[in-house]
Homo-oligomer: A and B are copies of this chain.
Amino acid sequence: MLSSVSKTLIGGIRGFGVMAAARGLVFRQLFEPVSCTYTYLLADPDSKEAVLIDPVLETANRDAKLVKDLGLKMVYAANTHCHADHITGTGVLKKLLPGCRSVISKDSGALADIHIQEGDVIKFGKYSLEARSTPGHTDGCLTYVLSDQSMAFTGDALLIRGCGRTDFQQGCPSTLYNSVHSKIFTLPDNCYLYPAHDYTGQTVTTVDEEKRLNPRLTKSEAEFVKIMNNLNLPRPKQIDIAVPANLVCGVQEK
């Protein structure tokens, strides 16, 4: 379905010392304050093709305006997973920006124009994002890695000095632990990691930092499982509205 799917495009290119932005990537981090969600805009300034990662319903108009102001052509609105804490902006953005197609993992169980899985690639102009399957918060969680491995978008698998909870949907702490260690901590140490949320006003971290400083994921798997099984967090306020809406790409009946 995704014409640009390729399992071989991502290879030995390493981002050491070279940020993608230095080569012209348009990149914007955007924040939605109620759910503390980060949305990411990435675009090729030459072809104008753009991707939004994890847009939020409440800020869809802001994001569409920015895309138009920058003269970009939105080709994909991609979610890292089926969110439980906010409704995706994907459905609305498809209406605001005709030609935009929704993308989510096959394993999410959610409707979308394009279903992807481990190793698939989302292309926009001369750039591309590799999908890595990082389940544990939900079964369908993906981490999107820019092809030069200078930046990765970790969704709720890895947060700055934290990680997504594992006590609802298909959450499993052992699975999450192994996802992060095998698919994210194996990226270059200086790879910038951009999460789907931050609740402390921080915006970015690196593989090196989280390997050294993450208070949960630096522990053994057994200790991690114990921590995650004893968080006793309140149920997400929007879960009963957000999950059903997100399973249909955020386009729910009024």
A35 CB to nearest B CB, Å: 11
A213 in the interface, Cβ–Cβ < 8 Å? yes
A236 in the interface, Cβ–Cβ < 8 Å? no
Q: Is the CB of B30 within 8 A of A201?
A: yes
Q: Is the CB of B19 within 8 A of A21?
A: yes
A233 in the interface, Cβ–Cβ < 8 Å? no
A2 in the interface, Cβ–Cβ < 8 Å? no
A230 in the interface, Cβ–Cβ < 8 Å? no
A29 in complex: contacting residue of B23, B62, B203, CB < 8 Å: B203
Question: Which residue in chain B gives the minimum CB-CB distance to A208?
Answer: B70
Binding site for B on A (CB under 8 A): 17-19, 21-24, 28-33, 59, 62, 66, 69-70, 200-204, 209, 213
Q: Is the CB of B31 within 8 A of A22?
A: no
Q: Is the CB of A28 within 8 A of B202?
A: yes
A200: chain B residues at CB < 8 Å are: 62
A28 in complex: contacting residue of B21, B66, B204, CB < 8 Å: B204
Interface centre among A19, A21, A200, A201 (most CB of B within 10 A): A201
| A30-B203 Cα distance, complex, nearest whole Å | 6
A202: chain B residues at CB < 8 Å are: 28, 30-31, 62, 66
Interface centre among A19, A70, A213 (most CB of B within 10 A): A19
A213: chain B residues at CB < 8 Å are: 69
